[in-house]
Amino acid sequence: MNWQKLYNPLVIWLLRSPLHSLVDKSTMLITVTGRMSGKHYTFPVSYIRDGETLLVISQRDRTWWKNLGNGAPVTVLLQGHTLQARGEMFTDTEMAAKILLLILQSSPACQRLLHLKLDATGQPENPEALRRLAQDHVVVRVTELTALAALQDPSTLLPAQQLHPQDSFGQQDVVS
């Protein structure tokens, strides 16, 4: 049995409920529009904040991220707030590996979740494992969170975590 058929509806319900704070520090809902069908699809995803940007890691064999193209509109439910945004996918293995490494360096929980250990210098103990991880995953960047400025109390959101201020993942890095 596919555990996600049970897990996803439960997490979606929880994130939409008054109990969302139990899981919303690392999980949000993202709603994408099907490229062909025009239908709206909502999925729970883990995220990490990098300033005003949200980074999401998804397994490549999942299909929801394929609807993003070059900066498609998305809706996220983030810590009880519904926000309009843009989602971009990074499918290039080299770029995905670079972003994944930054995420892993900033989040020990992601290291455990993705089963990739870093050494004392912040580099993968097994560089081949990072390459395989990047081949099996895509990174989605969620930007232009329009309602953040309109929130009554933006301090209720988790503080932004800066991965590396000198690193920028611009439009030229997005592979469609």
Neighbour tally for 2: CB within 10 Å? 7
pTM summary value: 0.76
**Secondary structure of residue 24 in the 3-state scheme:** coil
Q: If you average pLDDT over residues 115-132, what whole number do you get? A: 93
Is 166 a member of any domain?
A: no
Is 114 a member of any domain?
A: yes
Backbone angles phi, psi at 90, to 5 degrees: -115, 105
Lowest-confidence segment of 22-26, 28-32, 38-42, 123-127 by average pLDDT = 22-26
pLDDT at 147: 62
Q: What is the CATH number of the domain that holds 75?
A: 2.30.110.10
Q: If you average pLDDT over residues 90-98, what whole number do you get? A: 89
For the chain, give the percent of residues with pLDDT over 70.
Answer: 81
Half-sphere exposure of 140 (CA within 13 A, CB side): 28
Is 170 a member of any domain?
A: no
Residue with tokens 């611009």: 170
Backbone angles phi, psi at 21, to 5 degrees: -65, -15
Q: If you average pLDDT over residues 84-92, what whole number do you get? A: 91
Q: What is the DSSP secondary-structure string of 41-62?
A: EEEEEEEEEETTEEEEEEETT-
- The domain tally of the chain equals 1
